[in-house]
Homo-oligomer: A and B are copies of this chain.
Amino acid sequence: MSKLCTLKEAIEKYVHDGDTVYCAGFTHLIPFSAGHEIIRQGRRDLTLARATPDLIYDQMVAAGCAKKLIFSYIGNPGVGSLRIVRSELEAGRLEWEEYSHFGMISRLQAGAAGLPFIPMNQTAATDLERINPNIRRVKDPYTGREVITVPPLTPDVGIIHVQRADKNGNAHIWGIIGEQKEVAFSSKSVIITAEEIVDEEIIRSDPNRTLIPELIVKAVCHVPHCAHPSYTQGYYDRDNVFYLNWDKISEDPAAVKNWLDEWVYGVKDTEEYWQKLGSETHARLAVKPKFAAPVNYGDY
């Protein structure tokens, strides 16, 4: 059953004020276009969950979409501070809930697996446990030693960018696959954005590559370049220049407002945004092809 729709339609239908939203992607495949569309549609009071909030949540927080952040590392990866998120937290204007990366991904794994908790071994560092009542302990029934637990995270909406999907929502992902599968299975609604919508025969020619199956997907949106300034392995490079520039822009609230006006509110969709980036940027982010070795499944 085809679930194709525009990103605008998908956000209208599945993202509501007050929802917990997880835009997936560890550095790779971050669905920036979805964040921008949420900003354009003026969603409020969202709980934004991500291991690494990255620039996408810095921008959404700047635009006033967020009430709360759930995270495990707030930085501009490889650059430094995530200035807007940081100043909102320091000012006490944004609620937050904090884990280690392992705690965060374990919460997603518990949600995806339908488990009431996931155990983790002790790390000897107990301060996060002290300040976060969601981090608890349970006695291992075999050794009697204590293990650490986290509860499931089950976002209202998970948004996942992929290289290619069929119209039903079966999606191929390669390269860094951080927490995409766990977000998809833990979320109540899943929106897929894809660089390419392909015939289902392409997907079914390589079922081991399908991380996300149609049966958990609500909407499939064709959004090429959705991940910029993050990247899509094999399609375009990470825009490190933009990540460095954001460090400057985000120092100044006026500059942030101008940037949002120009690049989010001022464009109607990803296609317009991408064209506006211009041919020099396109050329800078272009990547030469390098193909995986052939894989023979056999005609059984």
Contacts and interface: CB of A to CB of B under 8 A. Distances in A.
A208 B211 CA distance: 11
A25 to B, nearest CB: 15
Interface residues of A, number: 48
Interface in A173-213: 174-175, 177, 198, 202, 205-206, 208-209
B119 A119 contact: yes
A37 B235 CA distance: 47
Copy count, this protein chain: 2
A237 B300 contact: yes
B295 A205 contact: no
A238 to B, nearest CB: 9
Nearest to A206: B292
Contacts of A288: 298-299
A143 B138 CA distance: 12
A137 interface: yes
Interface string A279-297: 0000000011111111111
A296 B300 contact: no
A42 interface: no
Given A205-B291, A292-B205, A174 B297 contact: yes
A233 B296 CA distance: 8
Contacts of A294: 291-292, 294
A149 interface: yes
A116 B151 CA distance: 18
B293 A206 contact: yes
A203 to B, nearest CB: 8
Of A121, A141, A206, A291, chain B has the most CB atoms within 10 Å of the CB of: A141
A137 B142 CA distance: 10
Of A138, A147, A149, A175, chain B has the most CB atoms within 10 Å of the CB of: A138
Nearest to A150: B142
Contact of A175 (B114, B151, B297): B297
A138 B136 contact: no
A22 interface: no
A293 to B, nearest CB: 5
A147 B115 contact: yes
19 contacts: A115-B147, A116-B140, A116-B142, A116-B143, A117-B119, A117-B141, A119-B119, A138-B139, A142-B151, A174-B297, A202-B293, A209-B292, A233-B297, A234-B295, A288-B298, A288-B299, A290-B296, A290-B298, A291-B294
Given A175-B208, A292-B297, 8 more contacts: A117-B119, A117-B140, A174-B208, A233-B298, A290-B296, A290-B299, A291-B296, A292-B294
